[in-house]
């Protein structure tokens, strides 16, 4: 399997982002977005997917958290897409359940090349730390679209919103790890012959 790494910069009037990923890493994360809770979630994503992630963002946090969260997701998704390349010799599909105390989340991933996301967390609070909960849902949706993958995430139970979203990120991470794993072939796992 070829080198599965990517790095890029994303600059807008609202954010400046630098991101690098190694799909065959060990789960090392170096994340600094200016939003502590987002850093925590991306670090969990890195650790449990075993994808090394470096993510730095300077955003317009004097306005709110939306642009930073969305643009970090788009940049990370772009890097994942680039690192996966043709998606040759991978399992393509992955699913996982992840608990965190009373919370239980399920994630299903298809590295299909067709961007779509359905994310149902069921938040009760408006914010977790310094991030609006609606933007945490939006992060997963935006990352999936930019990575050109299909993602389904459902939190099946749980009372604590921190537990609910962290279980969701961990389930996504484990599902990604499975989907990106080598399958022992050099084939593109599609009847179309492409996954782009």
Looking at domain 5-180, its CATH class is alpha beta
Q: Is residue 31 within 8 Å of 160, Cβ to Cβ?
A: no
Split at pLDDT 50, 70, 90, the class of 191 is low
Q: What is the DSSP letter of 157?
A: E
Q: Is residue 37 within 8 Å of 44, Cβ to Cβ?
A: no
Tens digits of residue pLDDT in 107-163: 999 999 999 999 999 999 999 999 999 999 999 999 999 999 999 999 999 999 999
Tens digits of residue pLDDT in 59-81: 999 999 999 999 999 999 999 99
Collapsing DSSP states into helix, strand and coil, what is residue 73?
helix
Domain residue limits, the chain:
5-180
pLDDT at 1: 57
């Amino acid at each position: 399997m070829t080198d599965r790494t990517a790095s890029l910069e994303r600059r807008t009037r609202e954010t400046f982002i630098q991101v690098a990923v190694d799909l065959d890493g060990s789960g090392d994360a170096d994340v600094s977005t200016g939003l502590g809770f987002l850093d925590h979630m991306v670090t969990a994503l890195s650790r449990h997917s075993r994808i090394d992630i470096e993510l730095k963002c300077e955003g317009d946090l004097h306005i709110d958290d939306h642009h930073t969260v969305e643009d970090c997701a788009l940049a990370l998704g772009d890097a994942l897409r680039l690192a996966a390349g043709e998606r040759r010799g991978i399992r393509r599909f992955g699913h996982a359940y992840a608990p965190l105390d009373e919370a239980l989340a399920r994630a299903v991933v298809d590295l299909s090349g067709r961007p779509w996301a359905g994310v149902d967390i069921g938040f009760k609070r408006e914010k977790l730390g310094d991030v609006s909960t609606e933007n945490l849902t939006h992060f997963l949706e935006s990352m999936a679209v930019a990575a050109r993958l299909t993602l389904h995430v459902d939190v099946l139970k749980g009372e604590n919103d921190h537990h609910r979203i962290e279980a969701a990120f961990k389930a996504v991470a484990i599902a990604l790890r499975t989907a990106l794993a080598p399958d022992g072939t050099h084939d593109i796992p599609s009847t179309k012959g492409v996954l782009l």
